[in-house]
Structure 1
Amino acid sequence: MSSPTAAQRDRAARLLHGQKRILEMIATGEPLSDILHAITALIETHSEGIFCSILLLDESGQRLYPAAAASLPEAYNQAIRGVQIGPDVGSCGTAAYLGQRVISPDLTTDPKWARYRELALTHGLRSCWSEPIRSRSGQVLGTFAIYSRQVAEPDAEQLRLIEIAGHLAGIALDRQRAAEELRRAKQAAEDASAAKDQFLAVLSHELRTPLTPVLATINLLQQRSDLPADLRPDLAMLHRNVQLQARLIDDLLDLTRIARGKLELQFELSDVHELLRAAVSTCRPDIDAGRLHLRYELSARRHQVWADAARLQQVFWNLLSNAVKFTPPGGSITLRSSTLRDQQQGEWIRIQVIDTGIGFEPQELPRLFGAFEQGQGSTPRRFGGIGLGLTIARTLTQLHGGRLWGESQGSNRGATFTVELPLHQQEAEATTKASARSSQSSAAESKPPQDAGQPPAADDKATGELNLLLVDDHADTAQVLARLLRSLGYHVTTASSVAEALSVAEAARTATPPKPFDLLVCDLGLPDGSGLDVVRQLKLKQPIKSIALSGFGMEDDVRRSLEAGFDQHLTKPVDLDVLDAVIRELRFGPQ
């Protein structure tokens, strides 16, 4: 056997380089059309006097369409476009039908070309060799063909070129199909995610909206000076349970956000002791109702952390709420803090919620942090809640770089839940004064000056001049909120749709004398559009402060509200004192 000549070695090197370049195009995800044209160009430059063509099957697998055939006459490509494959449909139609190579050395005598002979001869084509293009699984995807103007049989090198071209085209088509399947799967997942987001937003809105007029009515009744004293505790109880219902809705939505990685945290420098006291304030009515003794033992020298204050307070509220729930009347709850120093991890703060309640057996500990679980699973559920608090609290703690665990000596021997968080490294020394002051208090903590659920105290700043537009399509909510806001001295006009809101605002702005609205309180879900449309349109006509008040409370809802021009976004149900405070802050500045 003779050694290859220099010319042969050069041709082989160029062929190898061309294959490598095409494989790089496939690997880097270049357009399929560019890759298929590169394959035909490579074969054409490697063998003189030939024309290459790649035809691909349609989705039905029955018709062939040109994908790369730049050197063939365009009229010929158009004439064979969409050709039905079969046992006697030229070289390519037959190769695709049989799934095997078809060699037609003379088109003038080959019976498979009877229907296409005149077409081929018109364009000077005399021979055709076609190779099926297969996927990795063996499915026929199309054909690669070499045409010649001469009557000819392919030699060994040309047969090898056909095989190489068919193989490269198969790899490219496999990669393109995989990418398309991945794109479709990604799109389906994104569509499903968007559908879930929409469902959660609507669920939140529909669950929260009915609570708003209930809470507002409670606030309205609490303002009445002639309300019998024995009814005030009942209203406070109703108030607490409406808030509990809202909290349960929040827990369900938070669990879903956590599971889908959608929970967003807004970090800032936060005081752990202040957040603990805020959690106590929220739980105060239940603490008092259970005649529980609450003790502070806050001895941490440093207590500022980098955290989402609202979410960290939620952790403490969940732990304290559980302690209240599972501690019998007359029991005690202790809030304790201390500072830990670790040579590798630096300084941490430890927060403990210690109760004298029902406790739990050690084997129940793994279940406590599972969703929808409570301790003592073998007994009936004697306590309220849906078992999400600890699951959410632990996840939120971990998202803050901390850890949370629970301990108990057994049933009816109390429980201790511990949170450890890294301290903020740049905390100023001045913050230690507050911790020193709080560490002196180990006696029972005194009540806050005003119980939760009470109407806001009178303010010395007049509200009567504030012209307020309230937009809500929920009739009960609009009616009760309007009465409440009027009871505080605001001048309130209501509307129930985008069109009505814009019409009322325009009439007020162009009245004689003009009486434009100073502030907008607007729901988002309206029958003819969105509250976002209202605020955008109003701000084009006049400067106006605005509050989105809606059952839509997902992070995306809040973001869209602020981007549309709302100054604040409050989620239903909202306490009157909270709404009033936000209105005053927008009107008069921070109080």
Structure 2
Amino acid sequence: MNDLEAQLKLEIEKRQKAEQKFEELDGVLNMLTAGDSLKATLGKLINFLESKIEGVRCSILLLDNSGQYLIRGAAPNLPKSYCDALDGFLIGPNVGSCGTAAYKNKMIIVNDIETSPLWADFKGLALSHNLKACWSSPILNINGKVLGTLCPYFSERRSPTEQEIQVAQFTAYLAGVAIQFKGGEVALKESESRFEKLFGQLKSVLEGTSSETGEGFFRSLVYNLALSLGMKYSFLGLRKGETIETLALWAGGKFEDNIAYNLKDTPCEIVVKEEKACLILQDIQIEFPEDQLLIDLGIQSYLGIPLLDSFGKAVGNLVVMDDKAFANNVTAEIILNIFASRAEAELTRREIENESFEAKELAEKANRAKSDFLARMSHELRTPMNAILGFTQVLAMDEKNPLLDYQKENLGKVSSAGNHLLRLISEVLDLSKIESGNTDLTLETVDLVPIVDNAISISQAIADEKCITIKYENIPECSYLVEADPLRLKQVILNLISNAIKYNFKNGSVSVSYEKLMNGNLRIGVKDTGFGVSDSNKDRIFKPFERFHKDVNTIEGTGIGLAISKQFIELMGGIIGFESDVGEGSFFYMDMPISEKVSLPIITEYESVIDGSSLDEGIRRKKILYIEDIPANVDLVQQILNLRPNIELLSAANAIHGIKIAQANSPDLILMDIHLPGMNGLEAFKELQALNETKTIPVIALTADAMTIDVKKAIDLGFHSYITKGVVPLSVEIEQCLTPL
């Protein structure tokens, strides 16, 4: 996993945790506004806290009307005898964690009850109930008055984490809200309205703004934050070096344009650089006399909290300010934390989105570069190989200068080795295209029968060498039409038949079958009587470069043919699979959906050498122009045409020269290389089509490229055909173009 992927994973995990937290808080807010009794509501709050902190058992104690005694509120999971003993005890400066927290109005953390002086008079009671640590937070009303205490207990000595302190304080805050709602202390409609508004604003952060993103989200957040705390100014900013740039700014009842300001000598410097909250409730200008923004706005109170990324580093801040003093800092800090968590999650989402976009751009750029590389390699590797194979075919076709038997044998070996190398090049390039997601398929309605017939015909010579019989298990009685790329489909069938021959015993057999399945698919099967595949190797059969037969070094191949075949069949909507037994053979099959389209005419491919005499009658006194920059290729075509009397070959090494020759000589056929210096073959074709003298001349693309997308480009432009350089297909195309109708 690279650094970007690791960072994205961390950011996504933080986003998921934040969203889970918001769902939990939303549930708590819904619980507080439900119609439950105060005791039931406090019990639910305790359950909420106990679900957040491992190993805790909690109680909530309420301060009586005199403000001196703590009485039982709720403690669903503490021993009843312990709760009974503490019901109605006097608060004071050294009365355990709870009594001291209520008396001093601050959180009291006791990690070890047995050794704490605060618990000197109560440790026997606590230890007898296996309670060894207690952290207590005061529960306050909206004016900061103590209403009771929240008391988490542990059965082991325990120090809180920063996150656990925040959870406990937040639960205490919610308990204060619940007590005021449920207990009837807030009797005035104005106070009720204020709390209802606060709930609405908190829920807006947890729900409403979650559907927004970007600027809309940040504006909604600072607006609701200002209303929640009754503050005049609110903004969210991101750190850019030594400055803060606001993303949303609420000021005195309206949104203002975003600003950028220097951190130096401002309270924001503490928030961002020291990564801690800065809560100054009054007279802030005394502490920061150089902050011109505070002076211009007449700011008296400032509450700021850092916004952290997934690594705990401050990336910005969330701030509220007012031109008057602020009273309740405990409530404010809790609310700020809620809003900050939501803001951090949105910043995380935005960062992931930006990084994902950048990663996508980089991936697309890399894929484009890989595609260009594959296209170049396809051309550079195939061009010399096609020339070698072309000259071997010319030598074999030359009836005027026939070869001796041993020369024919040697030439056959050259041709066989060359074709093998060409197949390896094609397979490696195909695998690279598949892995980069650049596979080009052209789906059309094709008849399987002639494709399979042709594959068997091509494979027959190899089978004869090993004395292997190829036969049909059931002869097809009709055409079987499927939606497929005919070139890739033939490649897969050839691979299956070739493997059935290669991994077979001498005098074995290969049988091909057709079967219509109940699900509407057509199964084409290739069965052999060969070596078979062991159970331990079956899961490796479609993995690239896997070759596990004991005689693997004596069998030609790369081990990627089946991997490529599987990808091609699946991209065409089919399924490929196999069954095999060691020593008995294998049955490979592919299931393809049967097409509902009307049958197309069967196109027979030419695999045998064309007799020159048949061409002579139809192409006398014809001119062919070959635009090609590689002399060896021009020489090859010249030698091919030397076998065809009365054909004149014109040639040009670049497109500009070729167009001029075409205008001056009006050739009957143009052979066009695609990769030409300067103007390429596709551009040259457009120029020819634009000229009256040349627009009707058929043009054949003759190139080493075998990329499907290149073929499609040429055919879409109007090329007569597209040939990946070879003697036999070129001879066929010349005959089709020049023979009179």
TM-score w.r.t. structure 1 length?
0.77
1:54 partner amino acid: L
**Correspondence for 1:227:** 402
Output the CA distance in 1 between the equivalents of 2:453 and 2:253: 83
Unaligned runs of 5+ in 2: 1-179
2:489 partner amino acid: L
Going from structure 1 to structure 2, the CA distance change for 1:361 and 1:453 (only over 3 Å counts) comes to farther
* 1:51-103 C-alpha deviation (Å, 9 max, x unpaired): 22222112x5x4322222253899x989x735145xxx212122212222223
2:650 is the counterpart of 1:493: yes
Output the CA distance in 2 between the equivalents of 1:452 and 1:267: 27
Output the CA distance in 1 between the equivalents of 2:291 and 2:220: 27
Output the CA distance in 1 between the equivalents of 2:563 and 2:450: 23
Going from structure 1 to structure 2, the CA distance change for 1:10 and 1:135 (only over 3 Å counts) comes to farther
**Correspondence for 1:569:** 722
2:235 partner amino acid: S
- RCO (CA 8 Å, sep 6+): is it higher in 1 or 2? 1
2:710 is the counterpart of 1:557: yes
**Correspondence for 1:52:** 234
- The 5 Å alignment of 1:132-531 reads 132-135=306-309, 137-150=311-324, 159=333, 161-224=335-398, 225-230=400-405, 231-260=407-436, 262-290=438-466, 292-301=468-477, 304-308=480-484, 309-326=486-503, 331-337=507-513, 339=515, 342=518, 345=519, 348-349=522-523, 351-355=525-529, 368-374=541-547, 376-377=549-550, 379=551, 381-397=553-569, 401-407=574-580, 410=583, 415-419=585-589, 421=591, 424=594, 452=608, 458-459=614-615, 462-463=618-619, 467-485=623-641, 487-488=643-644, 490-496=647-653, 500-506=654-660, 508-509=662-663, 511=664, 515-516=665-666, 519-528=669-678, 530-531=680-681
Displacement, 1:262?
4.6
TM-score w.r.t. structure 2 length?
0.63
**Correspondence for 2:224:** 42
**Correspondence for 1:438:** none
Output the CA distance in 2 between the equivalents of 1:427 and 1:173: 52
**Correspondence for 2:186:** 3
Output the CA distance in 1 between the equivalents of 2:564 and 2:455: 16
Going from structure 1 to structure 2, the CA distance change for 1:96 and 1:146 (only over 3 Å counts) comes to same
Going from structure 1 to structure 2, the CA distance change for 1:98 and 1:215 (only over 3 Å counts) comes to same
Going from structure 1 to structure 2, the CA distance change for 1:4 and 1:236 (only over 3 Å counts) comes to farther
1:286 partner amino acid: I
Output the CA distance in 2 between the equivalents of 1:362 and 1:116: 77
CA contact (8 A) 1:482 1:494 kept: no
Rg comparison, structure with higher value: 2
CA contact (8 A) 1:73 1:123 kept: no
**Correspondence for 2:51:** none
Unaligned runs of 5+ in 1: 435-447
**Correspondence for 1:581:** 732
After superposing the two structures, state which structure 1 stretch, 307-316 or 418-427, moved more: 418-427
1:114 partner amino acid: P
After superposing the two structures, state which structure 1 stretch, 173-182 or 333-342, moved more: 333-342
Going from structure 1 to structure 2, the CA distance change for 1:45 and 1:487 (only over 3 Å counts) comes to farther
* 1:400-423 C-alpha deviation (Å, 9 max, x unpaired): 53444254562xx6x343425367
CA contact (8 A) 2:307 2:340 kept: yes
Q: Report how many aligned residue pairs link the two structures.
A: 547
**Correspondence for 2:163:** none
Going from structure 1 to structure 2, the CA distance change for 1:419 and 1:94 (only over 3 Å counts) comes to closer
CA contact (8 A) 1:300 1:339 kept: no
Structure 2 counterpart SS, 1:526: coil
Output the CA distance in 2 between the equivalents of 1:388 and 1:182: 32
1:310 partner amino acid: L
Output the CA distance in 1 between the equivalents of 2:627 and 2:207: 60
CA contact (8 A) 1:303 1:423 kept: no
Structure 1 counterpart SS, 2:554: coil
- The 5 Å alignment of 1:111-122 reads 111=287, 113-117=288-292, 120-122=294-296
CA contact (8 A) 2:370 2:436 kept: no
Output the CA distance in 2 between the equivalents of 1:116 and 1:9: 38
Alignment counterpart, residue 248 of structure 2, candidates 42, 55, 68: 68
CA contact (8 A) 1:287 1:324 kept: yes
Going from structure 1 to structure 2, the CA distance change for 1:66 and 1:338 (only over 3 Å counts) comes to closer
Output the CA distance in 1 between the equivalents of 2:580 and 2:351: 54
Structure 1 counterpart SS, 2:651: strand
Displacement, 1:363?
5.9
Q: Percent identity?
A: 20
* 1:435-469 C-alpha deviation (Å, 9 max, x unpaired): xxxxxxxxxxxxx9997456666326633565544
CA contact (8 A) 1:267 1:306 kept: no
Going from structure 1 to structure 2, the CA distance change for 1:552 and 1:449 (only over 3 Å counts) comes to closer
CA contact (8 A) 2:378 2:705 kept: yes
CA contact (8 A) 1:368 1:375 kept: no
2:343 partner amino acid: A
Displacement, 1:217?
1.5
2:655 partner amino acid: A
Displacement, 1:578?
0.8
2:33 is the counterpart of 1:33: no
Displacement, 1:222?
2.9
Going from structure 1 to structure 2, the CA distance change for 1:570 and 1:160 (only over 3 Å counts) comes to same
**Correspondence for 1:441:** none
* 1:207-237 C-alpha deviation (Å, 9 max, x unpaired): 2111121122223323322223423444344
Going from structure 1 to structure 2, the CA distance change for 1:14 and 1:557 (only over 3 Å counts) comes to farther
Going from structure 1 to structure 2, the CA distance change for 1:404 and 1:98 (only over 3 Å counts) comes to closer
Going from structure 1 to structure 2, the CA distance change for 1:77 and 1:532 (only over 3 Å counts) comes to same
After superposing the two structures, state which structure 1 stretch, 345-354 or 551-560, moved more: 345-354
**Correspondence for 1:437:** none
CA contact (8 A) 2:655 2:681 kept: no
